[in-house]
Amino acid sequence: MKSVLLGSAAAVVLAMLAAGAAGAQENQFLGHWHWNKAKSTLAPGEPAPKDASAVVESADGGTIRWTAVIVDQEGQTHTERFNGKPDGTPYPVEGTNNVTAAFTWGNGMLRSTFKGRNGGSDTQSCRVEADAKTMTCHGTWTDGGGSTQNYVDVYDRV
């Protein structure tokens, strides 16, 4: 969950989750989600945010719209917004420094790729668990120079 790309994980993730035009199953992603620090596994050496939450607002008509709020270690609040389609095309993430996100949907899973201006990227695959109360996202952060780190983000429905 690298700073700007944390949104990719937090909303990230969550945000992207809204790929709801494909069918009823995507609607499981809609709603309010809160990052579960205790159940998540950060990439080695990555500082944990104090808090992260997201609201997946829309998934109808092929539109993904979400808002993520991240509180960093210094207590600063960052809000990120996404409004795009689940068609694999990169769209800007509002509230970031030139980060884009591309989403696709398939087999009950939402996949996203966030890219930063300095070559870093964050890819995730998210699935809502059978209980519809937990969302688990498996991600890989790449720094743009060949180094990669894996992580798992777990979100609880609020």
Is the confidence at residue 28, as pLDDT, over 80? yes
Question: pTM for the whole thing?
Answer: 0.82
- More confident call, 150 vs 107: 150
Average pLDDT for the chain:
83
Confidence of residue 27 (pLDDT cuts 50, 70, 90): confident
7 touches 95 (CB < 8 A): yes
66 touches 56 (CB < 8 A): yes
DSSP letters, 37-93, are TTT-BPPTTPPPPSEEEEEEEE-GGG-EEEEEEEE-TTS-EEEEEEEE-SSS--EEE
Tell me the domains of the chain and their CATH numbers: 3-157 (2.40.128.20)
User: What radius of gyration, in Å, describes the C-alpha atoms of the chain?
Assistant: 14
Is the confidence at residue 1, as pLDDT, over 90? no
- More confident call, 26 vs 70: 70
The reported pLDDT for the residue numbered 20 is 37
Confidence of residue 60 (pLDDT cuts 50, 70, 90): low
**Per-residue pLDDT reduced to its tens digit, 3-18:** 444 454 444 444 444 4
Is the confidence at residue 121, as pLDDT, over 50? yes
Q: Which two tokens stand for residue 50?
A: 């104090």
Tell me which H or E stretch contains 7.
helix 3-7
Work out the percent of the chain whose per-residue pLDDT is above 90. Answer: 59
Q: How much is the average pLDDT of 68-92?
A: 95
**Per-residue pLDDT reduced to its tens digit, 87-100:** 999 999 999 999 99
Q: Return d(Cα 134, Cα 21) in angstroms, integer.
A: 21
- More confident call, 94 vs 64: 94
Confidence of residue 137 (pLDDT cuts 50, 70, 90): very high
- Return all residues near 56 (Cβ < 8 A) that are at least 6 apart: 14, 15, 17, 18, 29, 30, 31, 33, 64, 65, 66
